[in-house]
Structure 1
Amino acid sequence: MLKDRILSAQGFLQRFDVDVLIFVNLCDIRYLTGFTGSSGTLVLGRDEGWFLTDSRYTTQASDEVSGFNIIEYRSQLEGVSSLLKGISAQRAGFEAGHMTVALYNELSATLPAVHFTPIGAELDHLRSVKDAEEVQLLASSAEIASTALLGILDRIRPGALERDVALALEFAMKSAGAEEKAFDFIVASGKRGALPHGKASDKVINSGELVTVDFGAVYNGYFSDETVTVAVGKPDERQREIYSIVKDAHDRALAAVRPGINFKELDTLARDYIAEKGFGSNFGHGLGHGVGLEVHEQPVVSFRSEGLVEEGMVFTIEPGIYIPGWGGIRIEDTVVVTADGYRILTKVPKELQIIT
């Protein structure tokens, strides 16, 4: 798997007419080398590659990284500049979205003979199509998270604090094998549901409220992302109506997922339906995003996206309606694109669940 990934990355050398590529994004480095530490730089050439890190990680790198020359440096600038001089690199491409301005300026000043080429969105798409191993890890991460939520649903009850629900969910995930929570969980009840990123607070959950829970796990470095909205006590007519609109928008977009469709078209299917029902101004964010070694990565599924869906991509479908002073509803699943459609990785049923 790593060999195929490296070959894909090396394709950018010819595409951008550079001698080497400099990777500083740790997720890209892990993707290409298997390194799981928190400090390192990868320099990839046409026939050879170099992994550079400091003394804290040289032993770990020797265990995790194969097929690359491992170099210990005292500083990133010193290590990378010495290497580029040593291999007589004349043109170096780098991750424009991840290298700091400070490091770029320092490298440019230290190596005036090297022409540095910023590579942006193209490299950002390197991880957008997942291989079979990645899909399995993503499925395992999603299953851990979904099972954990189903196991603590009874904690979402009148009198409970939002933060206590989040804490119970985190404990359940880690007990089930998660390395970490994917992000600070969103637990937003009642009027706080109008906050798309309403992190769990000290608010008390009351009967008659909707509660939105946005959660995910990390398993072997891979993330999951899922959102459910549940009713605590019997929902009223308006709660049922708006939930039904969001669920229908979710299902319409989901049913259209297949290789070759435009991301913008998927977003439009959900967005136009919500607008037709009178809530167009209450759905402001994009329909979804890629999930992998980061919880938000390429591709982006939104009204601004121009790309096409490809087999092997993994992304979310998450429409929502948010009404200030009333609350909000979001429904989110993560899917992997198959040859003729999709497969849902997240496991919590998305019919409205009523907790009594």
Structure 2
Amino acid sequence: MDNYKRIQKLIQEKELDAILISNGDNMRYISGFEGATGYVYISEKRHSVITDFRYTIQAEMEAEGYEIITIGNDGYSQSINDILATDGVKRLGFEAEDLLYADYSRLRDTLKLDELVPLGAEISNMRRIKTPKELEYIKEAEAIGDRVFSEILNYIKPGITELELAARIEYLLKLNGARALSFPAIVASGINSSMPHAVPTSKKLETSDFVTMDFGCVYEGYCSDMTRTIVIGKATEKQKNIYNLVLEAQQAALDFIKAGYQGKEIDKVARDIIYNAGYEGCFGHGLGHSVGLHIHENPRLSPSEEAIIEAGMTETVEPGIYIKGYGGVRIEDLVVVTASGCENFTHSDKSLIEL
């Protein structure tokens, strides 16, 4: 109920009568309800989960202490209106950054109140600093990834396709205890590895290929994320140089990161190493992002991130070099930031593996 009290405080600060939460991750964070459809409603008088018949029992099991309201044939608007009338709500806050325009328009046209008040990221920002229990779940999710990477090395060989390798990774994640995937596994080989978010294809792995594998899983609702790049066969000197440069950049950022820096300051440590080595323009994404109930959370480690990174925040550290027509390397670990540094949740080998 601590999170419920934080919403009550937000209601007072924004001079609202109630808040309607629509973001699924925020609904879970505040109430415990994990269903795919519904709203969480909180006012000074009541706190409710509004959903349909498919999720009623689930909501009763997960949203401890919450009133569970099952919508009727008239849909969500009528059920919400019934609550608004009972509570005498005139100003209702909503998550403007998450609600589809069509859904907003429907609520605007059907709800009986004076004003729908748009909120920014205030509720999502409550999730930035992780609790010890959240960190425990994230750490275990990452440990599953470590186990899978160790196992998948025995499967990789010339002739299998990127799609086959991705499917095997996803199978092993679930076999090792994952409830779901954080995102579809990325497997990119050869010139495809020059694309940071390449979609696995029917391309077969070949001797001399870089093979980049980026994957994560969900454990007790919380995500993990890791990337490793290996070489099929013997690495060339150019491959070794690129790989070791990315590793140097990552290690420098890991050594630098601690609470109190802006996200862009941490990003710059790794970026300067890569750019100064002549690869400016080959590292086009941010150094990292937070991970939690959602795979890409804020704050981020990027050239534009001015937010201060605080103790208890999770961050990926994932520099890369991507060369069109040649290939690329990315190495990614997941850490929790501390006052004096960070704790790395990823333990898979980072020396260049040649298979």
Which TM class, normalised by the smaller chain length? over 0.9
SS at match of 2:249: helix
CA distance in 1, matches of 2:44, 2:250: 44
SS of 2:243's equivalent? helix
Q: Is the 8 A contact 1:96 1:120 kept in 2?
A: yes
- On the 8 A contact 2:26/2:123 being kept in 1, the answer is no
Q: TM-score, normalised by structure 1?
A: 0.95
Q: Deviation of residue 10 (structure 1)?
A: 2.7
Paired with 1:324 and 1:225, the residues of 2 have a C-alpha distance of 25
Counterpart of 1:300 in structure 2 is 300
CA drift at 1:112: 5.4
What is the aligned length?
Answer: 353
Given the alignment, which residue of 9, 12, 33 partners 1:11? Answer: 9
Partner of 1:82: 82
Tell me which residue corresponds to 2:275: 275
Q: Identity rate of aligned residues, in percent?
A: 38
Structure 1: how far apart are the matches of 2:66 and 2:114? 22
Who is 2:31 aligned against? 33
Q: What's the secondary structure of 2:278's corresponding residue? A: coil
What do residues 47-84 of structure 1 show as CA deviations (whole Å, max 9, x unaligned)? 53111111111122111111221111132222222211
Partner of 1:224: 224
List structure 1 runs of 4+ shifted beyond 6 angstroms.
Answer: none
1:237-268 Cα offsets, whole Å, 9 max, x none, are 11111111111111111112111111010111
Shift of 1:165: 1.2
Residues 242-299 of structure 1 deviation map (CA, whole Å, 9 limit, x = unaligned): 1111111111111121111110101111112111011110111111111111111122
When residues 267 and 61 of structure 1 are mapped into structure 2, their CA distance, relative to the original with a 3 A threshold, is same
Letter in 1 for 2:58: Q
2: distance between equivalents of 1:155 and 1:279?
32
CA shift in 2, pair 1:240/1:203, >3 Å: same
How much has 1:159 moved relative to structure 2? Answer: 1.6
Instruction: Look up the equivalent residue of 2:175 and give its one-letter code.
Output: S
Name the SS of the counterpart of 2:68 in structure 1.
strand
- 1:174 is paired with a residue whose SS is helix
2:190 counterpart of 1:195: no
The equivalent of 2:138 in structure 1 is 138
Aligned to 1:291: 291
The aligned residue for residue 52 of structure 2 is 54
Partner of 1:292: helix, strand, or coil? coil
What SS does structure 2 have at the residue aligned with 1:321?
strand
Structure 2 contact 145–215 (Cα < 8 Å) conserved:
yes
Distance 2:183 2:301 in 1: 20
- Segments of 5+ residues of structure 1 without an aligned counterpart are none
How much is the aligned-residue C-alpha RMSD, in angstroms? 1.4
Output aligned runs, 1:1-356, within 5 Å: 3-74=1-72, 75-111=75-111, 113-355=113-355
Check the 8 A contact 2:77/2:111 in 1, yes or no: no
What CA deviation, in whole Å up to 9, does each residue of 1:187-237 have, x standing for no partner? 111111101111221111111111100011111111110000011111111
Do the aligned partners of 2:336 and 2:345 also contact (CA within 8 Å) in 1?
yes
Q: Report if the CA contact (8 A) 1:288-1:302 is conserved.
A: yes
Between the aligned partners of 2:152 and 2:105, the Cα distance in structure 1 is 50
- Any gaps of 5 or more consecutive residues in structure 2? none
